[in-house]
Structure 1
Amino acid sequence: MYKFTAIPLFACLFSVLIFSCENKKEEVKAWSLVASGEKIILPLDNETSNVSMGLELFQALSPLLFNFNEITNSLQIYDLETQSLKKELIFDREGDQGVNIAYFHVLSMDSIILFPPYGGKLVLTDTSGKIKKRIQFDLPSGYSTIFPHNSYYVSPPVVIGKELIAKVRGDKRPTEYTQDLLDSLALEAEINLESGALRLLPLGFPRDYLSSGNKQLEYSVNNQGEKKVVSFMGDHRLYFSDQNSKEWKAVEAKSQFLDDQMPTIPKDVDSRGFNEYAFAKSRYESLVYDSFRKVYYRFAYPNVSFETDEELRALRNSPGPFVVMVFDENLNLLTETKFEAGTYLPTNFFVGEKGLYLSLSHPDNPEIKEDEMAFELIKLEGN
């Protein structure tokens, strides 16, 4: 017969408990964003700016970066493995094959959506550059346009079944909205890609968004499967919901580099005051999903000091310091990093297999070159 004594058994259990706790401690990582020095450099012709109006990565056999060239009304397709231009789709602005591009979204190499700047229409094409279909839709009263911008409060459209979900924009000035009006404003519309039938989705702005005063109504919304996450310009919180939900759930997500109280716009604001609010005050901008690491990047801007009107105007194209926050899929903050002004252009970015790539085309970057578009890899590392 085997006998077990209490002391050895207790010692064994205690050792297992310690080992288990040590393993749990090892699982907790300290995350950081690190400038790797690794660059992607794309050659440009004399009709292509090194500051893009819109970038979008498409993962084909090799990663392809689509660039919207506003000058030539074209989409340029760069192969990131060879760092070379693979193809350029140039579109007439008028005629049977014409479209004036403002934004775009790549569903596949056989299905690319082009969005004109205004009006109720969108255009389907592919990498042949031929117009395959035009879809007309009617926006309800109170809305000016759909607004799936590729570099400003980025909100990629998504197709679920036959329905395109895209960001919309109200038709009033920010100072004309009250909270009551804002409560009835939708963030997105659903457009049937066969019939053009449009339905506004129920989710809107937080019911206290204007509780401290008027704010700009910019936001970045991201749809991933059944989950929707949104970041508002003037709200520290992040909001999430299911695709079919009518209510947001909020999580605290404040950047340590931004003011506790988000700025507001006076009712009688002039153009200078509005520019100060939009380019020199604390604000959040794009919310970007990284499908490789299953994280969200949230771009933010702290207050910037300036002395002259010229310095204020310069902030539009030469932004000051900015912050990149990183959240896991449950919207827990993993890390945030402040990048000083003068190196990166935070409105030009894309996410690749290795991480976040930031443009080096800041106007004050001494290494900037007019004949190339350069990006540096910013790695998310855990220790």
Structure 2
Amino acid sequence: MSTQTLVNGDSLIRANYFNIAIDIFSVKERKKIMTYNFKNEGPNRIINFGGSGIVEMKENSFLIGSLLGEIYITYKDSILSKHNLSDLDIFKDREYRLYGINSTKPIKIDDDIFFYRVPEYLQQDKGYYSEKLLVKYNLKNKSLDELNVLYPKEYHSGLWSFAHIHPSFTKNSENKIIFSFPINSHLYEYDIKTDSMVTVDKCVKSKFDNFPLKPLKSTSVDFYEENKYIKGQIRYLSITYDKYKKLYYRMIALPVENDDDLISRDKDFLVSPIVLMVLDSDFNVLAEKKLKGGMFNYKDYFVNEEGFWLSKNNPKNPNFDEDKLSFSLFNLK
């Protein structure tokens, strides 16, 4: 398992889900080439690695932004430098939890790295909807700026499960950052030059979206009730840009289709049907394909020159093998 996968030519660079490690695989050779294991104790350690945002700086060197707001520069399995964002005077009283999974991978543009910042406040707090969700870290002067990306107005209508909170974003060939939020079908275009975000003026609603979305009555629900609620909702999961074909790939989770899946303790990514949507560079919907639940893992995917690869490492899949990585390649015909 992995929280985040980067692509560099033939290499897949994967953040290890279970260990403080980065694994590197060859697509052509279909095997793991190397693993960089980082220490979990002592001064030369990485704290809270799981969910860290990772950027490849150069070969064998990575920038890692952690959930505790620490920026690490590494080379192979060594830490070259560490910068705690709480040391910045203007941010001393704030939390900067930088969260990087496949749908929120940090983006590097020149000397700036754009991170998703997990909100500091609870949804019940007034400050929640004024939280800036995107921050920019400058490599040269080690500064941090909050950017003008907020939750859309639809979030103000109620309380939402944890699964509905995290946005997804991707950079296109014009260096604009395209955002998608789980609770509506809209796409949003953020311009780094003007620090502004506008709604894309196109209908990008899935043809399979026939489900009204309902907020939670309360966030004080147990695992079973929240899990059941999530599996009964539609969610616009992720947006990914294909720089080779100038396409966008979007994944959408649909409500489960039977009561057994709804009331089971299986998490949604194991059983929810998925829609894979393809859009052109102008956000016209070119194709949609519905994939039945229990076959794929929508959290694990990547794009290379061949197209969009989606993981089949789902324990519900009859061909699941925990000792192998297995992906299906999707191409627009």
Q: TM-score, normalised by structure 2?
A: 0.87
Q: Does 1:375 align with 2:297?
A: no
Shift of 1:173: 3.3
The structural deviation recorded for 1:327 is: 1.1
Give the conservation status (yes or no) of the 8 Å contact 1:169–1:187.
yes
Q: Confirm or deny that 1:246 pairs with 2:196.
A: yes
C-alpha deviation, 1:210, in angstroms: 2.9
Distance, in Å, in 2 between the alignment partners of 1:247 and 1:68 is 30
Structure 2 distance, partners of 1:235, 1:306, is 24
Q: Check 1:313–1:306 CA distance in 2 against 1; reply closer, same or farther (3 A cut).
A: farther
1:205, 1:140 → 2: CA distance?
24
Decide whether the 8 Å contact of 1:280 with 1:312 is kept in 2: no
> Is 1:362 the counterpart of 2:314 in the alignment?
yes
* Matching of residues 196-235 of structure 1 within 5 Å: 196-206=142-152, 208-210=153-155, 212-215=157-160, 216-224=164-172, 225-235=174-184
Aligned to 1:192: 138
1:84 aligns with 2:31: yes
Could you say if the C-alpha distance between residues 93 and 188 of structure 1 is closer, same or farther in structure 2, counting changes exceeding 3 Å?
same
Q: Answer yes or no: is the 8 Å Cα contact 1:144–1:169 preserved in 2.
A: yes
Aligned partner letter, 1:79: S
**In 2, distance between residues paired with 1:321 and 1:270?**
24
Match of 1:99 among 46, 49, 53: 46
The answer to whether the Cα contact below 8 Å between 2:168 and 2:237 also exists between their aligned partners in 1 is yes
Within a 5 Å distance, the mapping from 1:33-72 to structure 2 comes to 51-59=1-9, 63-72=10-19
Deviation at 1:360, TM superposition (A): 1.4
Q: 1:137 aligns with which of 67, 79, 85?
A: 85
How far does residue 237 in structure 1 lie from its aligned partner after superposition?
0.8
Corresponding residue for residue 258 of structure 1: 209
Partner of 1:327: 279
Number of residue pairs the alignment of both structures matches: 319
1:5-24 equivalence runs, <5 A:
none
Among 288, 295, 302, the alignment partner of 1:343 is 295
- 2: distance between equivalents of 1:263 and 1:155? 24
1:284, distance to aligned residue in structure 2 (A): 1.0
Q: Give per-residue Cα distances to partners, 1:322-366, cap 9 Å, x unaligned.
A: 111111111111111110012221111111211111111111111
Identity among equivalent positions (%) equals 22
Q: Read off the aligned partner of 2:155 and give its amino acid letter.
A: L
Structure 1: gaps of 5 or more residues: 1-50
2:100 corresponding residue in structure 1 = 148
Change (3 A) 1:317 1:212: closer
Measured in 2, the distance between the counterparts of 1:269 and 1:308 equals 24
Distance 1:348 1:73 in 2: 18
Amino acid at match of 2:27: L
- Measured against aligned partners, the alpha-carbon deviations of 1:277-318 in whole angstroms (never above 9, x if no partner) come to 333311111111111111111111111145469844203451
Q: Are 1:121 and 2:63 counterparts?
A: no
Letter matched to residue 221 of structure 1: F
Shift of 1:205: 2.0
Task: Give the stretch that moved more between structures: 68-77 or 293-302.
Answer: 68-77
Distance 1:378 1:247, change over 3 A: closer
The answer to whether 1:288 aligns with 2:240 is: yes
TM-score normalised by L of structure 1: 0.76
Task: Answer whether contact 2:21 2:35 (CA < 8 A) is retained.
Answer: yes
Deviation at 1:163, TM superposition (A): 2.2
Q: Which residue of 2 aligns with 1:36?
A: none
Cα RMSD (Å) of the superposition?
A: 2.4
- How far off is 1:372 after superposition? 0.9
Aligned 8 A contact 1:147 1:167 in 2: yes
Task: Compare 82-91 and 302-311 and name the one that shifted more.
Answer: 302-311
Q: Following TM superposition, by how much is the alpha carbon of 1:263 offset from its aligned partner in structure 2, in angstroms?
A: 2.5
